Amino acid sequence: MKRTLFAASALLLSGSLAQANEGQWQPAQLAKLGDQLQEVGISLSAEQLANPLAFPLNAVTSLGYCSGAFISPDGLIITNHHCGYGMVQHNSSADNNLIDKGFIAKARSEELPGGPQERIYITRAIDDVTQEVLAQVGDKTGKARFNAIEDATKTLIKACESDAFTRCQVRSFHGGLSYQRITQTMFKDVRLVYAPPAAIGKFGGDVDNFEWPRHTGDFTLLRVYVDNNGQPAEYSPDNRPFNAKHFLHINGNGIREGDGILLAGYPGSTSRYRLASEVTYAKDWLYPTQAADYRQTLAIIDQQSQGHPDWAVAYASTVASANNRLKKLEGLMDGFKHTDIAAIKARKEAELPSQARLQTLEAALTKAQPQWQRQWYQQQARRSALLDTAIALYRNALERQKPDSERKAGFQDRDQAMLAGAVKRLDSRFVPQVDQAIWQAKLTAYLASRYRDPALDALLPIKDGKADLASLYQHSTLVDNQARLALLTAAPATFEQSQDPLLKLAVALLPRVLADEAEEEQTDGQLSSLRPAYMEDIIAFNEARGLPVYPDANGTLRVTYGSVDGYTPRDAVRYRPFTSVDGILEKEGEGDFAVPAPLKAAIQARRFGDYEKDSLSPIPKWYCGLVPCQDPEPFNSVPVAFLSSADTTGGNSGSPVMDGQGRLVGLNFDSTYESITKDWYFNPEITRAIHVDIRYVLWLLESVYPAPNLLDEMVIEKE
């Protein structure tokens, strides 16, 4: 009683429950963060959390582009709807549109193959290989350094990958200051189990994307299958569900405002240690250029798909991804206007005791940026999914003539299955007419740019100064999937002697593609020799001032922590940390705000069961009877989404949000609009991550789009 009274008093006095908790920590770093973890209410020991092979981190999975977690002993995985969107699209058609109507496997025999490129990864070892890489690199720079790093990486990977389902990667940290080899188990038989209708999984669409309040049921359930010996295997109807040694239990009661949370996953990339000049480059050229490109592409797909529902289904995943990226770019550009991040970084750079390393890196970046701009436009000139595939297939034929160790990364034996998957997947995500229209627009933009190159022009399909593509698509056999698949094992002569217009173009363009690649690698190699030295200065600077020191996100396993809390986006506005199902009906409208009839009926009937919460305040009802205060505001609904102060970015989509005991309470799926610039600069006052509340997920599975078979295999704890 006294402890509860004290806690409530502290919350009242604090006014705001939390500031954002900066840090995308590597697991090993958590061993030193025990006090901070306890302070936010994490009862799991720091030592336990520092071990990626122990619970709960060994229940966290990667899809290669998103995160997820096992939630049953039978290989059931929960991730975001937008992460599983490609799998839903893969199994959809105009006549059976699972995107719109959703999908529920009532039995395991009904679970659907996710697609030829879908994978699930579990990390099973993290080893420091800095000495091994740098010993081979020495004092090399430029292209020689890039090649040395690549050769060292290939050697380390080859020694690690003992079988076809062990996947290893070598990642650099702090710009190449250190290197780690990540060993993972790779599962290739991934199946779609449950996906709510898009009207739930994407409720609010791109209008609500990155916005708060949010009412999106952004979750999907998948399952990993293995062979009868329990080993990863290719897809087979005879495979059985994977026996997950560790999986997350679910806190059916959920969390309240002020509760501490853990979040683990595989964030993609951040730029928090980049220079002020790199912010300016992104703000003034890169982001506006990319945003305009996305808008143009989306407009073309929309225009071409009118009257062709099957084309719209084929490009649904592409459109969803492009819209998400466009909204983020717009948020970044707005954020740069509101907060002068370049100036903040410039002030910090000016405080560095030594300027020499900074100035050397700055000079190299100044030289590289015009090169990147030129290459961007010239690469646009060949912007075609079909042409890209033809070039990749021809290069693969050439690389396969070499010993495996001498092949370019991406074309080794270990890469052949993924390459084949990409070719197969094109069949369900490609329409020749749409691809041609996109290429026509991009090539036209190149022709109007100041980066035209006569040598490149001579290779491209240009007639009378204009793009001339129609005959390429009309006379190429590559529009047929079987023809593309046959080229996976073809000899170089097959391409070089072909009269197919797209294959002839691929053969002609490949030397130019390789020259561009070599130029990029020359620059990357130079920067990889300069950035580590600069990072040594930055790390020493931060450590001397007690500032957080953690590597930028790079697709490896990270852990962040924080508290459930709202925020103040602008003067006189305070956002509360929870939304409810009642807010869904408040937003109801046309298009992306249409509410499915079963969901609407359940809300209107108040058919909430155990998932209705009368209050989510940390202050007990009785407290204001003892101490003068405002009574906690009633909630009286099912929570849909909540905010936390955790530090997240792209790739954290689908990351499990856990309570202090490691039980699942939600899924990360977004950030607030004001938080988008956190990729460059972390502002603790306004940075908030958005999570779907597990109580909403459970309620949907129980009462709206029932899946009792799935609920039965979960461990749901209700204290």
**What tokens were used for 221?**
């359930």
264, 655 in Cβ contact below 8 A?
Answer: yes
Q: Token match 């290893």: residue?
A: 168
The pLDDT-based confidence of 623 (bands split at 50, 70, 90) is low
Which pairing describes strands 250-251 and 716-717: parallel, antiparallel, or unpaired?
parallel
Question: CA–CA separation, 24 vs 32, rounded Å?
Answer: 14
Q: Do you find a cis peptide bond into 56, omega within 30 degrees of 0?
A: yes
Question: CA–CA separation, 116 vs 420, rounded Å?
Answer: 8
Of 681, 674, 703, 461, nearest in space to 581 by CA: 703
**Exposed / middle / buried, residue 486 (Cβ in 10 Å: 0-12, 13-18, 19+):** middle
Strand partners, 692: 641, 667
Tens of pLDDT, residues 184-207 = 999 999 999 999 999 999 999 989
Tens of pLDDT, residues 288-340 = 999 999 999 999 999 999 999 999 999 999 999 999 999 999 999 999 998 99
- pLDDT reading at 490 higher than 80: yes
- pLDDT reading at 9 higher than 70: no
Can you list the pairs that 707-714 forms with residues at least 24 positions away whose Cβ atoms lie under 8 Å?
707/104, 707/106, 707/194, 709/106, 709/107, 710/76, 710/193, 710/194, 710/221, 713/72, 713/73, 713/74, 713/76, 714/71, 714/72, 714/76, 714/250
Question: CA–CA separation, 499 vs 328, rounded Å?
Answer: 43
Answer left, alpha or beta for residue 452, where phi above 0 means left and psi between -120 and 50 means alpha: beta
- Say how many residues make up the chain: 719
- pLDDT reading at 17 higher than 60: no
Question: CA–CA separation, 462 vs 472, rounded Å?
Answer: 12
pLDDT of residue 401: 97
* CA R_g for the chain: 26
- pLDDT reading at 581 higher than 50: yes
Question: CA–CA separation, 185 vs 122, rounded Å?
Answer: 5
**Exposed / middle / buried, residue 542 (Cβ in 10 Å: 0-12, 13-18, 19+):** middle
- pLDDT reading at 2 higher than 90: no
pLDDT of residue 3: 36
pLDDT of residue 617: 87
The pLDDT-based confidence of 622 (bands split at 50, 70, 90) is low
**What tokens were used for 495?**
């391409």
Question: CA–CA separation, 359 vs 365, rounded Å?
Answer: 10
Q: 201 in helix, strand or coil? A: helix
Active site positions, annotated:
82, 218, 653
- pLDDT reading at 631 higher than 50: yes
Helical pair 432-447 and 385-399, crossing angle rounded to 10 deg: 90
Question: CA–CA separation, 387 vs 393, rounded Å?
Answer: 10
Of 273, 311, 225, 284, nearest in space to 550 by CA: 273
Mean pLDDT, residues 402-430 taken together: 94
pLDDT of residue 5: 41
- pLDDT reading at 11 higher than 90: no
Question: CA–CA separation, 702 vs 436, rounded Å?
Answer: 46
- Sign of torsion over alpha carbons 16, 699, 661, 554: negative
Report in angstroms the alpha-carbon separations of 478 from 11, 259, 418, 439, 461.
64, 56, 19, 16, 17
User: Residue 413 CB: number of other CB atoms within 10 A?
Assistant: 12
pLDDT of residue 21: 84
Q: Which domains does the chain have, with CATH numbers?
A: 1-119+188-279+556-719 (2.40.10.120), 354-549 (no CATH)
**Tally: H helices and E strands in the chain:** 28, 24
pLDDT of residue 628: 65
The pLDDT-based confidence of 4 (bands split at 50, 70, 90) is very low
Tens of pLDDT, residues 62-109 = 999 999 999 999 999 999 999 999 999 999 999 999 999 999 999 999
Question: CA–CA separation, 45 vs 561, rounded Å?
Answer: 13
- pLDDT reading at 16 higher than 70: no
**What tokens were used for 333?**
């550009």
Helical pair 432-447 and 356-380, crossing angle rounded to 10 deg: 120
Mean pLDDT of the chain: 94
Which pairing describes strands 103-104 and 573-575: parallel, antiparallel, or unpaired?
unpaired
Question: CA–CA separation, 449 vs 379, rounded Å?
Answer: 12
Strand partners, 171: 180
pLDDT of residue 418: 92
Tens of pLDDT, residues 358-390 = 999 999 999 999 999 999 999 999 999 999 999
Of 534, 528, 550, nearest in space to 348 by CA: 534
Q: What angle do CA 524, 526, 528 make, to 5 degrees?
A: 65
